[in-house]
Amino acid sequence: MSDLTELVGVLKAAGESTRLRLLALLADGDHSVKDLTEILDQSQPRVSRHLKLLADAGLVQRHAEGAWAYYGLAPNGQGADLARWLVARVETSDPERLRDRARQAEIMAAQQALAAAYFAKVADSWDLLKTLHVPEAAVEAALLEALDGRVVDLLVDLGTGTGRVLEVLAARYRRGIGIDSSREMLAVARSHLASAGLSHSQVRLGDIGALDPAIGPADVIVIHQVLHYFDDPGRMLAQARRLLKPGGEILIVDFAPHGLEFLRNDHAHRRLGLSREQMNGWADAAGMDVRGVKEFPSDISDRGLTVCLWHLGDRQ
């Protein structure tokens, strides 16, 4: 920003109370426009105008996903540096900031409750539901291949659901731990693991959005069809990274970008797939490298979903 006019423009973009509040909220992670309007209690057109000014000035970054758009602080550049400098100087005890964060917490809790209700409803049929749009056999084979015949000390499966990943990879770890926030899902998982005689596998109730560091350190973490339930997958990935041993790996299975809006309303999805560009950015921010990615197109043409397997490695 060596140009004086450009610098003044950036400062003007940030120098307004609502826009500064937006920067502070986005420093906590990505948010949809819908969430931001509810937190700030302002109209969608008004919030969108503020966000456009911030994006034009290079302070925030916009990601369109179907009918929704997500915003986050710009990942790099002088605009990103300025945004973080400003946010660091916002007084945490400011009454307006406290109200924003309280409302933010309420909205996140409501979203998690909706997801939990959905998982409780579909727990018994979860594995069947996945086969409707995911080439599961090919994905499971690729997960096994990614571990290349190794046997690791500790594998952690975040959002373990019915425990299927722990079953598939049972021969690849000495101890496996699955974490999930749904008691109903965990009841199914415990039944499956017991039936399979997998005494070296355990499942625990826990919030994968606020991970307990005592779970690790893990050699390998698997995040299977989980990140699309989060507004800010990058934040979730950064938390998972803290559970890894030095040199550890993360295997992520999720959808490629798509436009199936019904998945938001009917299946509690928050993100309509994850792009390679997004994953590269999130991995880089977490201090990891994307070692490889494989795509598995749907074999059901009318659904059109493609599943991706990302292999991330700790950057040493």
What is the mean pLDDT of the segment spanning 270-293?
A: 90
Domains in the chain: boundaries? 4-90, 123-314
Instruction: Report the relative pairing of strands 60-65 and 68-73 from DSSP bridges.
Output: antiparallel
What topology does CATH give the domain 4-90? Arc Repressor Mutant, subunit A (1.10.10)
- C-beta of residue 38 within 8 angstroms of C-beta of residue 87: no
pLDDT over threshold 60, residue 159: yes
Strand positions, DSSP E, the chain: 31-32, 60-65, 68-73, 152-158, 173-180, 201-205, 218-224, 244-255, 288-297, 306-314
Asked if the model's pLDDT at residue 1 lies above 60, the reply is: no
Give dist(CA 6, CA 185) in Å, integer.
53
Task: Identify the pLDDT of residue 155.
Answer: 96
Neighbours of 92 (CB within 10 A): 8
Give the gyration radius of the chain's Cα atoms.
21
Distance CA(42)–CA(74), nearest Å, equals: 23
Residue 131 confidence class, pLDDT cut points 50, 70, 90:
low
pLDDT in tens, 23-39: 888 887 778 888 899 99
Q: Which tokens hold the place of 284?
A: 């880089």
Task: Identify the pLDDT of residue 203.
Answer: 85
pLDDT > 70 in the chain, percent = 85
The structure tokens 């002088």 sit at 78
Query: Of how many residues is the chain composed?
Result: 316
> In angstroms, rounded to a whole number, what is the distance separating the alpha carbons of residues 173 and 154?
6
Amino acid at position 213, single letter: P
DSSP three-state, residue 139: helix
**Binning pLDDT at 50, 70 and 90, where does residue 303 land?**
low
Residue 255's DSSP bridge partners are 307
3-state DSSP call for residue 150?
A: coil
Q: What pLDDT, on a 0 to 100 scale, did the predictor assign at position 128?
A: 47
Q: Up-side HSE of residue 181: CA atoms within 13 Å toward CB? A: 17
pLDDT at position 10 over 90: no
Retrieve residue 67's tokens. Answer: 């009918």
CA gap 275, 267 in Å, rounded:
20
Sheet of strand 68-73: strand arrangement: 31-32, 68-73, 60-65
For residue 184, give the amino acid letter.
Answer: E
For residues 265-288, give the mean pLDDT: 86
Q: What is the pLDDT of residue 189?
A: 81
Pair 250, 279: CB distance under 8 Å: no
Q: In whole angstroms, what is the distance from residue 162 CA to residue 193 CA? A: 9
**pLDDT band at residue 119 using 50, 70 and 90 as cut-offs:** low
For residue 260, name the pLDDT band (cuts at 50, 70, 90): confident
284 strand-pairing partners: none
Would you say residue 113 has pLDDT above 90? Answer: no
- 312 - beta bridge partners? 250, 290
C-alpha distances out from residue 24 to 89, 94, 194, 284, Å: 10, 12, 47, 22
Above 70 in pLDDT, residue 134?
A: no
Number of H-type helices and E-type strands within the chain: 13, 10
User: Of 162, 161, 197, 181, which Cα lies nearest the Cα of 116?
Assistant: 181
In the 8-state DSSP scheme, what is residue 228? G
Query: pLDDT band at residue 123, thresholds of 50, 70 and 90?
Result: low
Cα gap 274→255, rounded to integer Å: 6
* Interval 80-89: pLDDT, tens: 888 888 888 8
Report the CATH number of the 123-314 domain. Answer: 3.40.50.150
